[in-house]
Chain A
């Protein structure tokens, strides 16, 4: 006699989750999102080209600082850079078009991520998000013909994964704001908002500290709650309105480029997957009412199939066979996504200061740091040369390198290699500079007595970073 299957066994539960994720849902909302996402990517290339940033950030630099572990990545010459940007542009348009979406996403992912990995000083959280989304689109099932005539469908997992990815950005951005500087000193918003005191209407208000406090707390609450508010049907419209207002405000106040527009587009992923059809039907109904004509169908549920019917995405055995590796990949991906933001806390000291584990952690708009840096190079015969970063760094690098210890180290290694190649023999390289975080009195960021030429880059704690002294913040007082 065979034992009956326990409905609560882990295996069965996993199977139910798997089946749930494979239920087909209309692909219309994804189509709208995909078009906007692709056009944003293509438009961003045009923006870079128009602003001269393709040359300034990727061709002009005499030295670049690849992300840790990616030093092997070839640095393309001007023509290569142009080809990579051209590929992102074409890929963005292909994504918007939607045919062979996974191929288009892979085609865009490679040049986009290649460009992003070339130089840490150009790192932006939302470009990391773009790379992740492109990677997801490469592996996720794309739209296919569904059961309802003329309705394309995707397995629910596609929508779920994209929502989860966007949701993690907001959530961890909110978690990252649960810091004393953000909540109890309203930094860096106090510093940033006073830059805009000459703005029309609201300008004078931005000099009041309570506004910075209100904005800090509202920003934190927004980030932590918006995903849940977008997921709940009753609060979705309100939440979307807040999303739009929030991102429009940040776009007006800060130089954020693609970010606000990308996140507004991403927020549409949280709408019911058939919202474009419903919107179309609503318009049709209104027109029909006006002319007493019959209206279109009203799709009330996310699923494209009747409630209780088996998921019809191809033969079941085929579905399950395909689903297992996909769900495994997604599980690994999201486990990593859940872990990465926490790694900053494995390092001693304040992550806002040492910035270890800060990238790829959705630490969005958290730091205002100023710094100076000279490198003191001592050759084998004891001769000392002062190297000024302005000699060979681009303006953007000049702003980023002195404030981020791992970039200081990377630059020190570059200078070491340069001197040794010029025949100075084995040299020692010391950092001589000061930094200030959120208005604190300046202090050393890097121990000036440590020979950085001998220090290795890596994931281990960097003991040569001088700990942040005290906790007093005095900005704007």
Chain B
């Protein structure tokens, strides 16, 4: 009996040893089998940094420089023509900046740079801007409230006298003395921050592009940085839908419109900025910016589940179609005159968010998570 038990136990041990050997052999064979190479996420991230992120911020810095020059010209010779010119450059600057929304990570949100509240903290507090203009102390924008600096404050000075009701002539007439001094300071400050974005992302500076691609520094790994990039796509879509369209449209307030809660109500670009935000998502998705094609998240999906790609493309098309259907209207005008059209934009962006957050997230094995707590 005792011997039988020993033999059984010996057989069990031998079986286990054989099983583990077979598994080990299988793993060895598998490792040598040379299957298809997995998708290179580091290459995608590197490409996004060089093809989309850095060029966008360089364009933003260039536009910010033009805005600084245009406001200098405006203040040097205030007229409706120089005001119109400055407004055009302002719109162009916003357009580019809005296309950086899908990679508003790293220096945008993280200390010590944390550039977001220095560039685009909205909506503007008009009373705080007027306080700064009325003050007699020297202008120190680092110490100024985020609600009184950046693009929203510039927009207020270019568009917003008397709550946006003033004639252009009145705005031009008011642009003198401390008001112009503050406008110049704002645009110079904006240009410096735009340069900071470029420096933060470029290899000569903090090299966030390198950190992102190699999964180092701020990013724990390539897996983590891939997740951050993807999550920002989803977040941007959600933010456009919920905050930039839905909130002014009254979605969060029982249908009561919140028109003051727009990103750029005075400049009339709230809708255009929201559309540019979606283009930003698409730039990262396709890996393409300014006609330069790189590797995007779409390539990652094509490597993982190509059948899903047309659905995402259709979702982007639907969003563009919905925005285009509103034409050149401001968000105020669209809400007043074409609420169905605004609703269509809202729903189209929601559909895009859903396909990204649910289906694409599964296909790419990216858990949309923000907190590395334990799991089991």
Contacts and interface: CB of A to CB of B under 8 A. Distances in A.
Interface of A: 51, 53, 56-57, 122, 124-126, 191-192, 194-198, 202-208, 210-211, 214, 218, 229, 232-235, 238, 242, 254-259, 364-365, 368, 370-372, 379, 383-388, 390, 394-396, 398-399, 424, 434-436, 438-439, 441-442, 474-477
Contact of A53 (B42, B246, B253, B373): B373
18 contacts: A56-B371, A191-B362, A198-B223, A204-B35, A204-B38, A205-B30, A234-B6, A234-B10, A234-B13, A235-B13, A238-B13, A256-B375, A258-B374, A370-B358, A372-B354, A379-B254, A386-B242, A436-B359
A380 to B, nearest CB: 11
Contact of B363 (A235, A386, A388, A475): A475
Given A207-B35, A208-B33, A441-B359, A255 B372 contact: yes
Contacts of A365: 375-376
Nearest to B42: A198
A475 B36 CA distance: 17
Given A206-B38, A234-B10, 8 more contacts: A51-B372, A207-B38, A234-B6, A235-B12, A235-B13, A364-B376, A385-B252, A475-B365
B238, B254, B305, B369: most-surrounded residue (chain A CB, <10 A): B254
A196 B223 contact: yes
Given A218-B23, A255-B375, A474-B305, A434 B358 contact: yes
Given A372-B358, A385-B253, A477-B305, A234 B9 contact: yes
B140 to A, nearest CB: 33
Interface in B288-310: 304-305, 307
A385 B254 contact: yes
Given A256-B375, A385-B253, A394-B371, A436 B362 contact: yes
A435 B362 CA distance: 10
Contacts of B372: 51, 255
Interface of B: 6, 9-10, 12-13, 16-17, 20, 23, 26-27, 30-31, 33, 35-39, 41-42, 215, 221-223, 238, 242, 246, 251-255, 304-305, 307, 353-355, 357-359, 361-363, 365-376
A202 B42 CA distance: 17
A474 B362 CA distance: 10
Given A203-B38, A384-B255, A370 B367 contact: yes
Contacts of B359: 370, 436, 441-442
Contacts of A258: 374
Contacts of B36: 207
Chain B residues touching A, majority SS? helix
A82 to B, nearest CB: 18
A114 to B, nearest CB: 18
Given A195-B365, A385-B251, A214 B26 contact: yes
Given A198-B42, A210-B30, A384-B254, A232 B12 contact: yes
B365 A233 contact: no
Given A124-B376, A125-B376, A365-B376, A395 B369 contact: yes
Contact of B354 (A229, A238, A242, A442): A442
Contact of B374 (A255, A438, A475): A255
Nearest to A193: B365
B369 A211 contact: no
B44 to A, nearest CB: 11
A476 B13 CA distance: 37
B38 A197 contact: yes
Contact of B238 (A370, A390, A438): A390
